[in-house]
Amino acid sequence: MKTESADILIIGAGPAGSVAAGLLRKQGRDVLVLEREQFPRFSIGESLLPQSMQYIEEAGFLQDVVEAGFQFKNGAAFERSGRYTDFDFRDKFSPGWGTTYQVERGRFDHVLAQAAERKGATLRFRHEVLTVDFSGEKPEVTVRPPEGETYRVQARFILDASGFGRVLPRLLNLETPSNFPVRGAIFTHVEDRIPVGTFDRNKIRVTTHPEHVHVWYWTIPFSGGRCSLGVVAKKEYLEQYTGTDTERLQAIVNETPSLRELLKDAVWDTPTRKLTGYAANVKSLWGPGFALLGNAGEFLDPVFSSGVTIAFKSASLASACIARQFAGETVDWERDYAKPLKAGVDTFRTFVESWYEGGFQDIIFHPNPSPDVRKMISAILAGYAWDKNNPYVADSKRRLGVLEELCAV
């Protein structure tokens, strides 16, 4: 069997893998990226957060993304039973980017992968990692190409950016159950035909079901008059509806008057998809010779669109650790990678839990919000969940709990 070598092997060419490749190429590393699928391919998670722009810029991909023509995004809007509120991410506590884009992920991921390739990374589509071996001097994988014979790759370090494919967690028995309830999502893309002036296309809209606080919808406008539409709920709630997935999604959308009116002229021209039990966790985010990036390590929930930002943050932290390790320094991957990454993830987790319990919804719909608190919350919704200067990051659980109690009075 033929054996190849590389400094860094990255499994998966999605956002985490491509940004990691760009950052590592800036260090001069020999980077090989293996992607099981052929790009462009469909993926969910289309609404970026402004924090993500920092990592796109650091990887050298900013011009590629800006010139791709994606839908501009400056905030998030929320609607519940006729009550509406929105956050402009430019009006936030933390410094940094306040705008970003809403993207068709198939095209966006391809833009990033092509940018990584232009930076000098070797990219191979439809090459699937079958086995891994960390017992030797260097980590080694076996790979199945679309045609030809299986081959080996030896690398000094492996980054798993395989997303929900979770290659290393599966092969190394690292998977562990999430403590979140089993939820599912049903989603599609539509030609929305929303009348001009009735919908702020520069913001994602999150709509809560009028009767069930734990059921919510996303409406993510794209450029060109299309949008991503989906509903998230516990598995049992979604399974009570019959018919095709499209018919189930239409029935749930029609239960919410504001969405029913907004999308009354929409053309449902794309196959509907579903995802169940998406929350995931692992025993460890790293091991000797490898680290897990983004969704390959942990995925919380789509409600605050945090997935791509967490993926980018993990790529940035891991690349910095690799730079030090390859320079001969001793790197404590738990202290320097896992704990810093988890700190922001845990901030998002606090807000996700509060959302489903209804407390955070009471906060954002409060009739007399504190301007300063809104700026702090806006920063977290914009992705700045690692900014410990923000009191709602540094002490998120306690402060959010106090605010919930005040808003409930």
The DSSP bridge partners found for residue 229 are: 188, 219
What average pLDDT does this structure show over 139-163?
Answer: 97
What average pLDDT does this structure show over 361-384?
Answer: 95
pLDDT, tens only, 270-308: 999 999 888 888 999 999 999 999 999 988 889 999 999
Separation of CA 175 from chain center: 19
CA distance 319 to 32: 14
The whole-number pLDDT of residue 36 equals 97
What average pLDDT does this structure show over 95-106?
Answer: 97
Q: Which two tokens stand for residue 379?
A: 């920063």
What average pLDDT does this structure show over 257-278?
Answer: 94
Please, what is the angle between helix 51-58 and helix 15-26, to 10°?
40
The whole-number pLDDT of residue 148 equals 86
Residues in the chain: 409
Which CATH superfamily does the domain covering 2-73+96-177+279-344 fall into? FAD/NAD(P)-binding domain (3.50.50.60)
Confidence bin at 180 (pLDDT 50/70/90): confident
CA distance 169 to 186: 26
Does residue 409 have a pLDDT over 70?
Answer: no
What average pLDDT does this structure show over 370-389?
Answer: 97
Q: Are 108 and 96 in contact (CB under 8 A)?
A: no
Q: How many CB atoms lie within 10 A of CB 208?
A: 21
Separation of CA 120 from chain center: 25
What average pLDDT does this structure show over 242-259?
Answer: 96
What average pLDDT does this structure show over 326-342?
Answer: 97
Tell whether domain 183-276 is in CATH 3.90.79.10: no
The whole-number pLDDT of residue 276 equals 87
Say what percent of the chain tops pLDDT 90: 91
Write down the domain spans for the chain: 2-73+96-177+279-344, 183-276, 359-406
Does residue 408 have a pLDDT over 80?
Answer: no
pLDDT, tens only, 59-69: 999 999 999 99
CA distance 403 to 396: 10
Residue type, 122: T
When the pLDDT of each residue in the chain is averaged and rounded to a whole number, the result is 95
